[in-house]
Amino acid sequence: MGLPDTDMTARGPLPASGAWAKAAREDALARMTSMGLPTRRDEYWKYTRPDTLTSVTPEPAAVFNAEEMPLYDTIDRLKLVFVDGVFDAAASDDLSLAGVEIDRLADAAQMDIHWAKDLYGTLETNGQTPVERPLAALNSAYASDGVLIRATGKAAKPVSLIYRHADANSDAILHHVIRVEEGADLTVLENGPAAARFNKVMEVDVADGGAFHHVRAQGRDHERRAVTHIFARLGRESTFKSFTMTVNGVLTRNECIIEFTGDDAVAHVAGAAMGDGDFLHDDTVFITHDAVNCESRQVFKKVLRNGATGVFQGKILVKAGAQKTDGYQKSQSLLLDDDAQFYAKPELEIYADDVACSHGSTTGAIDEEALFYLRSRGVPPVLATDLLVLAFLAEAIEEIENEEIAEDIVARLDAWLQRRRD
């Protein structure tokens, strides 16, 4: 990484903590300082300018107050609300849920010992090689809030993290740690713009036979910026499924770093992004197969217009001995006009000889044949285009297992399109 372009002392002291958190934060600060913050010269920051993510103070972002249909509203869930990155107990449900233990990071960090001690910053550290991710280390050092979720059985309902944005100058750092114990099953939902600038890390440790489902909706506020990391470690016969919908936002960098450590596990990561105008969306994925007979699947779709930019950097690394690996990677963009841009960098690195890995990246326009077919049936071109846009995104949305949630996501995408149609 390049030289730090900001003075770290300007960020102030690390949050006050108990013994375990203090050590973890100091280690993280040391990691970040030795790496330095990312610059445009770094290989994985070629297409996305990191300066507004690394600066000491964030660019302001107007709070977008629009009447919107509420997301996940029909789903029975445990709601945990953060406003500009600070937990709002009054707006949240009680932190009690059958099959799950939940603590607030702000509380747990004051304790001398906590189960999260073995994970906080640990999965992040593992994910720093071979590619450095200094903004995640910055997060581990400075995050003062977040949730620590430990699923010991089948969670009675999804845990829903709601990120509200109230202050046009807010700079939020949240760090969540999730441990899915053997055979346990947890769904985490996320939505909301969060802050003017949002740095979020989620470390997910799925033990043997555990299942983790994640559905995230990023969007709404046009001027918001976000950098997020998911670090996942997957045990034997475990399942990890993550889907992200992104609409609006001048800058979104979503990194997902997954490591298979146990055999016969499955990981699917998918994303559907729609950008109009001043919008940059970057999916950076790194999947390491270090176990036998694991399946990884990446499906990323982007619809871009009016100068919106999409970036995809996806890598599958198959280590020696990770035989019977089944790796699949697909990144596609639909450019609705000549001003939109898509940069794709798919990578495969394979050191085992009995594997099936494939990747495909395409950039295209609306299919004229399909458009005419729809029009010949009486569907006006704008509506027909929207139908084809949703059809294009469908393959990514299909990665959501819960049909009710999937329908909710489609309805939200449709509403977004409709607002631009009327």
Partner 1 sequence: MLKINDLKVKLEDEDKQILKGVNLEVPAGKVHAIMGPNGSGKSTLSYVLSGRDGYEVTGGTATLDGEDLLALEAEERAAAGLFLAFQYPVEIPGVGNMTFLRTAVNAQRKARGEDEMSATEFLKVIRAKAKTLKIDADMLKRPVNVGFSGGEKKRNEILQMAMLEPKMCILDETDSGLDVDAMKLVSEGVNALRSEGRSFLVITHYQRLLDHIKPDVVHIMAAGRIVKTGGPELALEVEQNGYGDILAEMA
Q: Applying CB under 8 A, which residues contact partner 1?
A: 367-370, 372-381, 383-384, 387-388, 390-395
Indicate the residue among 78 and 245 with the shorter CB distance to partner 1. Answer: 245
**198 contacts: CB under 8 Å, gap ≥ 6:** 85, 163, 172, 173, 174, 224, 225, 226, 227, 228
- To partner 1, the closest distance from the beta carbon of 393 in angstroms equals 8
Closer CB to partner 1, 130 or 378, in the complex: 378
Q: H or E stretch including 155?
A: none
Whose Cβ is closer to partner 1: residue 60's or residue 381's? 381
| 8 A C-beta contact, residue 203 and residue 120 | yes
Q: Which is nearer to partner 1, 139 or 332 (CB)?
A: 332
Q: Do residues 198 and 164 touch, judged by C-beta distance below 8 A?
A: no
Q: How far is the CB of 379 from partner 1 (least distance, A)?
A: 5
CB of 66 to partner 1, least distance (A): 25
Residue 387 Cβ vs partner 1, minimum distance, rounded to whole Å: 6
- Smaller CB separation from partner 1, 348 or 410: 410
Q: What is the largest CA-CA distance in the chain?
A: 69
Q: State in angstroms the smallest separation of the CB of 375 from partner 1.
A: 4
Confirm if 244 and 254 have CB atoms less than 8 A apart: yes
Task: Determine the Cα–Cα distance for residues 82 and 91; give it in Å rounded to an integer.
Answer: 9
Q: How far apart are CA 149 and CA 418, in angstroms?
A: 37
CB nearer partner 1, residue 232 or residue 272: 272
Q: How far is the CB of 219 from partner 1 (least distance, A)?
A: 21
Q: CA dist 94 to 41, 101, 111, 159, Å?
A: 46, 11, 20, 11
Residue 290 CB, shortest distance to partner 1, in Å, is 35
Q: Which helix (H) or strand (E) holds 265?
A: none
Pick the closer one to partner 1 by CB: 274 or 294: 274
Matching residue, tokens 């285009």: 385
